[in-house]
Amino acid sequence: MLGTPWHVIMRFLTEERNDRPEQSLQLTNKSSVFYHAAMSSSTERFEVALNTPAGRVTAVLDVAIGFVPVTSIVPVARRLGEDMLKLEEARVREQGEPVSCQMGCAACCRMLVPLSPPEAFALRDYVAGLPAERQDRIRSRIDEIDQRLISHGLASSLREIAETVEAIPDEELDPVNRAYYALRLPCPFLENEICSIYEARPAACRELLVTSPASFCDDMVNNQVVPVPVGVRIGTVLGLLWSTIKSEPPRLIPLPMALEWAERHAHEASQRWSGAELIDLLLDKIWRVLSHEFQVRGQTPPS
């Protein structure tokens, strides 16, 4: 269980880069996207229909067009991800396995959470909009965590993960992942066991739901924790999108390093891309991941 979500996301990012499955994966659903010209000149409306292993998702999305920062696509991606995850939740409930996660159950907030670059930039922007005293508390907790990581020899490893231009094999990532989890460091955004940035939390946090007893999450190494299946990991999708528009290897940033990384790469966040092209690229990556997931589950995509 502890390998989720780092191993799953990193493995898919690596396979996507190495295999380039454009020819081997059928990109389903493409005919189910419609454009509505009745919106304002700065917004375009997309009606999206996606066939997923858990059912069909339909959504109407108002997307900024013109030239926009990559962060503009993050809320759209999260919306689609949450809609797809609701279908997975409904499926496990129908199988008699309700989700056991509840407010205040924050055991998973001690895991090493990965962010895609667009999410890291969006998080930086969100924190910058908070009152000064809240920003100070967050940065103080980040500094405390950094000192703990330095004292245990993990800080440099996490910064290398954030900046690497090479794929990280599981045998190198797993010891870092486990060492971080062993420290049981609370997320810097956790206050009184409740997420203080709930509306802006990373996709990996949104996607980690379990059906096993909540008490099992206190020790995810030794307990058999059962996660709700995730058809599309939005961190993967946004990581692939960033890799494409930047023509660089996919990367994921550990949450404790996210603000630092985003500030160091602020010049990249200031760049602008066509909003229409970003949404097209987002949907292409979602279709690619969905096609892969259908294959993994041994299912045939609806025609």
Say what the pLDDT of residue 13 is: 57
In a domain, 302, yes or no: no
Domain count, the chain: 1
Say what the pLDDT of residue 12 is: 53
In a domain, 301, yes or no: no
Start-end of H helices in 103-169: 117-128, 132-151, 155-163
Q: Give the residue-averaged pLDDT of 196-210.
A: 95
Measure the CA–CA gap between 248 and 273, rounded to whole angstroms: 16
Please give the span between the terminal C-alpha atoms of the chain, in angstroms, as a whole number: 34
Q: Are strands 273-274 and 67-68 parallel, antiparallel or unpaired?
A: antiparallel
User: Cis omega (within 30 of 0) on the bond before 5?
Assistant: yes
Model pLDDT for residues 206-242, shown as the tens digit of each residue: 999 999 998 899 888 899 999 999 999 999 999 999 9
pTM of the model: 0.86
Measure the CA–CA gap between 116 and 78, rounded to whole angstroms: 12
In a domain, 1, yes or no: no
Model pLDDT for residues 33-83, shown as the tens digit of each residue: 433 334 444 888 888 999 999 999 999 988 887 899 999 999 999 999 999
In a domain, 291, yes or no: yes
Say what the pLDDT of residue 272 is: 94
SS3 at position 44: strand
In a domain, 303, yes or no: no
Domain enclosing residue 23, as ranges: 6-296
